[in-house]
A and B are shown apart, each in its own frame.
Chain A
Amino acid sequence: MKKNTPLSKLYITFIMLLLYLPILVVVLFSFNSNTGRTASMIFTGFSTYWYKDLLNPITGFGTQLKCSLEVALWSVFIAAVLAILGAIGMVRRSMGKSLASKITYKAIGAGEQLAMLPMMIPELIMGISLMALFRLFKLPFGKTTLILSHITFCVPYILVTVKSRLVTLDPSLVEAARDLGASPFKAIITVTLPLVAPAILSGSLLAFAMSMDDFVISFFVSGAETTTLPLKIYSSVKVGVTPKVNAMCTLMLGFAFLVVGGGQLVSAYAERRKEMNN
């Protein structure tokens, strides 16, 4: 396999620079000493004013962050339970001979297809149809509707990651546990779940990120008093004065580098140890 040429390295660098250009602008303006109406347009000098403003308990984004975290944690937790059970149920199943079992088989298959849809159709459609559904059932818009919607779009991400790991598992492991007398339930708890734990973790992290960042669906299903962080960001961005948002995004980006980078280092380390053991 050929290595990269200087030209291709230049290309990577160029695209990366373009990807980070707006982010650098965001970071730069978070340190803007301009506190007036043009704070997002004219850079006057360095200050940490906006970070102090962000951490202020009254003007800061504490309430919105709390709301986002609450919604994300509940949604990911419930979605993970649904999706893990779903993935275990879907892998290596077979259709029985009787009519009833054929119907069950098809119905469950259709259920999985539906569960995957939110990942594939535009978020806008999910947002509008969920909004219409909640209106139909007269559910008041607020945290409940947010969590119900977030569960719906979190399920496919966890389902796909867990299922693709389950497919690669050796089925004889579970069979061995069963032969040695474990109940089906015990076999799942003690054999299957530990083996797919990394997939559960990475799927849940992905779903968590999706939930924390979701704007489009939340936009349609949140109430007047429940504002998640992205919704707050949208209203600030619409008004046009955002250095506080910039400050928060700078912190988020730093956190993201820690988490994603740390995760990569851990998995690279695990890989190396596996290679050494082999």
Chain B
Amino acid sequence: MNEKNDKKQLLAVPMGLWAAAFVGLSLLYIIGLSLLTKGEGFSYSPPITLDNYLRLREKQYISSLLLSLRLAFYTTAISALVGYPFAYFISKASPKRRVWLLVMLIAPFWTNALIRIYGWKILFYANGPINTLLKSLGIIEKPLKLLYTEGAVLVGMVYGMLPFFVLPVYSSVERIDWSMVEASRDLGASPLKAFITVTIPMTSAGVMAGLVLTFIPSVGLFFISDLLGGSNTMLWGNLIQNELLKSHDMPFAAALSVVLLAMTAIVLFIYRRQGGEAESMVY
């Protein structure tokens, strides 16, 4: 039995080698790269130095990091507050309706994320639908500045991330053993208390997966802030993109990426420590 299994696992070798080359090696390379110095154009060379990391103490980088973390935190919090009841109610809908609600939730994934964000941009224009509506209702006189604000970026980010919170939570609500909730009700818990002390803890795996799936991409997103925030919101991802494509500074872009990678690693480490599995991250 053992020997047979020993041989069978060799089937995973091609995948392992692939990952070692394209994931392992490329991540190690970028860490190494972050210690080098920029040369002409895209080139870089030794000496090995920590200068790229020391540069991060400059004010613009610190404020960009804080802005990214703040927006990622808000995005995650809002997605959780809006998404949890949403997932919960979907799972309580009748089976037929549930299928269609899920189809409606998943279908937009098949269109391009960029164009969905662009839909918000159209809505936010000074002479766009929102301002026109508010003006015709007499609520405002001058058009509100909606586009290129932090609020617009936040709307776009929550919009983009919400399904990633809803889907894992939905699948964990689906798996709830409802007799436990009923038992707590029979034992005298109010509906609210049963919800808080029984239902929510039973969905914690989905909630944790949802939080991680929302938070990690939020820190690294750059095209949403690009489209809805313009140059006003320099997120960490925008910095990386700029260093790479405008300044052609590979080592510094690598250092910025390593910082993002380190943040991701911390989040994933906490997730694993709390017993989270990678598997619950796919719905």
Contact = CB atoms under 8 A, between A and B. Distances in A.
Interface SS, B side: helix
Contact of B260 (A89, A116, A125): A125
A68 to B, nearest CB: 10
B217 A21 contact: no
Interface residues of A, number: 105
Contact of B112 (A107, A120, A135, A233): A233
B30 to A, nearest CB: 4
A172 interface: no
B22 A22 contact: no
Contacts of B42: 135
B137 interface: no
Contact of B257 (A24, A26, A128, A157): A128
Contact of A264 (B20, B99, B111): B99
30 contacts: A1-B178, A4-B89, A4-B92, A20-B104, A21-B123, A24-B119, A25-B119, A25-B122, A41-B128, A42-B127, A81-B14, A86-B11, A88-B8, A88-B11, A90-B9, A92-B5, A93-B6, A96-B2, A97-B2, A111-B12, A115-B18, A120-B264, A124-B241, A130-B22, A132-B26, A155-B18, A213-B109, A213-B112, A233-B112, A255-B110
Interface of A: 1-4, 8-9, 11-12, 15-16, 18-26, 29, 40-42, 81-83, 85-90, 92-94, 96-97, 101, 104-105, 107-108, 110-112, 114-126, 128-133, 135-136, 148-149, 151-152, 155, 157, 159-161, 163-164, 184, 206, 209, 212-213, 215-216, 220, 229-230, 233-234, 237, 242, 245-246, 249, 252-253, 255-257, 259-261, 264-265, 268
Interface of B: 1-20, 22-27, 29-30, 33, 42, 82, 85-86, 89-90, 92-94, 99-120, 122-123, 125, 127-129, 159, 162, 178, 212, 216-217, 219-223, 227, 237, 240-241, 244, 250, 253-254, 257, 260-261, 264, 268, 278-279, 281-282
